[in-house]
Amino acid sequence: MSSIWHDPDLTHDADHEKASGELFSLDDKLTIAQVSAMGEALWNLNNTYHDLARLAVDRIPGRQEMDRFLNQCYKLGFVCRDGSDRLNDPDKTRIDDFIRVLEQDLNLVSSLNLCEIRQVTHFLARSEKFGDSGGEYGSGIIIYFAQSGLAAAFAKRLQS
């Protein structure tokens, strides 16, 4: 496993920031502070939802934590204006299929690069926001992400 701190999509330029409200591109490099903050947001998400039993969506505690996580995804550059439901690999792998593979072997997360992590978090945040059929409680994909152990695995990867 190579360190995330040597990823080519990471910049050590602390002044590399976007204007508030401006969406990032997958081509934009992220700062160490952004990556560290997303790692922390993933740990918080994991700590809130990982051990919950499957609950009815309208009874989910900690909705504030999910809202914080989603806001961080946008603010820190993990939701991108050019993100999609497919990876940028040669096969254009569907991200939901990719997530299923990762669920089967959480150790695979340790080999993900920053762009792949951003593509998955983009998919999760957009699915949560737009996959709720207009309901106020979201689609549940973020909670499932935490319960599956992937949120902790992604957090660990972003802090390695």
- Give Cβ neighbours of residue 7 (< 8 Å, ≥ 6 apart): 113, 114
| Residue 3 placed within a domain | no
| Residue 86 placed within a domain | yes
Work out how many domains the chain is built from and give that number. Answer: 1
Give the pLDDT of residue 132.
Answer: 60
Nearest to 67 by CA among 49, 84, 83, 54: 49
| Residue 136 placed within a domain | yes
Q: In which element (H, E) is residue 114 found?
A: helix 114-130
Q: In which element (H, E) is residue 27 found?
A: none
| Residue 135 placed within a domain | yes
| Residue 4 placed within a domain | no
Residue 75: give the domain boundaries.
22-158
As a whole number of angstroms, the distance between CA 40 and CA 141 comes to 19
pLDDT tens digits along 36-79: 999 999 999 888 887 765 555 555 666 778 888 999 999 999 99
Q: Which amino acid is at 7?
A: D
Q: Is 80 exceeded by the pLDDT of residue 131? A: no
Give the pLDDT of residue 105.
Answer: 97
3-class SS at 42?
Answer: helix
| Residue 13 placed within a domain | no
pLDDT tens digits along 75-129: 999 999 999 999 999 999 999 999 999 999 999 999 999 999 999 999 999 988 7
Nearest to 71 by CA among 37, 48, 47: 37
Nearest to 137 by CA among 59, 82, 72, 38: 59
| Residue 8 placed within a domain | no
Give the pLDDT of residue 95.
Answer: 95
As a whole number of angstroms, the distance between CA 112 and CA 136 comes to 32
- pLDDT (average), residues 2-7: 89
Q: Which two tokens stand for residue 128?
A: 């949560």
Looking at per-residue pLDDT, the higher value among 112 and 14 belongs to 112
Looking at per-residue pLDDT, the higher value among 77 and 18 belongs to 77
